[in-house]
Amino acid sequence: MEYFFDDKEKQRELKKILDSWIDPPTPFRHQCGVKGLGCDCAYFVARVFEEIGVLQWRKNLMPDYPKDWHLHNTRELLKETFEKEFNADSIGQFKDGFFKFKAGFDSFFNGDVILLHYGKAASHIGIFYDGYLYQAIEMVGVCRASAHEKGLRKRMRFAYRILK
């Protein structure tokens, strides 16, 4: 199986795009995806992958969702939307108290997409690159955090690798 980010040039391009959302800073704005003006985590991931050519943006790509949907609903809306829109391979999920990769994968790879659990469902999404999770966080904006932080690791629920 070939993955989109097996190509080192694509990895460099991804890093450049990820950093361009941080400097100059992009603030958090719910249901928005405009570099420098505002975005939330889902729109951030979609817009990054649009920029690199993995995804074609269109109206209604992202369903309408209230800011707190994950606090009142167990439906895996973010996971459903991601799996419907992206050509990706599920590489692991959280089971029995540990994040388990499928056979052959022992760590995250640049460009992997990670869904994290907050509230009652996986409601946060970010992109892994060189040990960091690039994400958009309310009251912070687009940032990167160590993917090894205990607080992030315990919330990781699903991971995907983008296919060619």
For residue range 99-111, list pLDDT tens digits in order.
455 433 347 889 9
Mean pLDDT of 40-53: 95
Averaged pLDDT of the chain: 86
Residue with tokens 């419907």: 84
Contact at 8 Å (CB) between 32 and 1?
A: no
% of the chain at pLDDT higher than 70: 90
| Highest mean pLDDT (candidates 102-106, 128-132, 149-153) | 128-132
Mean pLDDT of 43-59: 90
> Which of 62, 56, 51, 55 has its CA nearest to residue 20?
51
Q: How many helices (H) and strands (E) does the chain have?
A: 5, 9
End-to-end CA distance of the chain: 9
CA angle 50, 128, 87 (to 5 degrees): 45
- Show the domains of the chain with their CATH numbers: 4-162 (3.90.1720.10)
Q: What integer pLDDT is reported at residue 104 of this predicted model?
A: 35
Does residue 98 register a pLDDT over 70? no
| Highest mean pLDDT (candidates 18-22, 55-59, 68-72) | 18-22
Mean pLDDT of 71-98: 75
Quote the DSSP letter at residue 26.
-
Q: What integer pLDDT is reported at residue 81 of this predicted model?
A: 84
Q: What integer pLDDT is reported at residue 101 of this predicted model?
A: 53
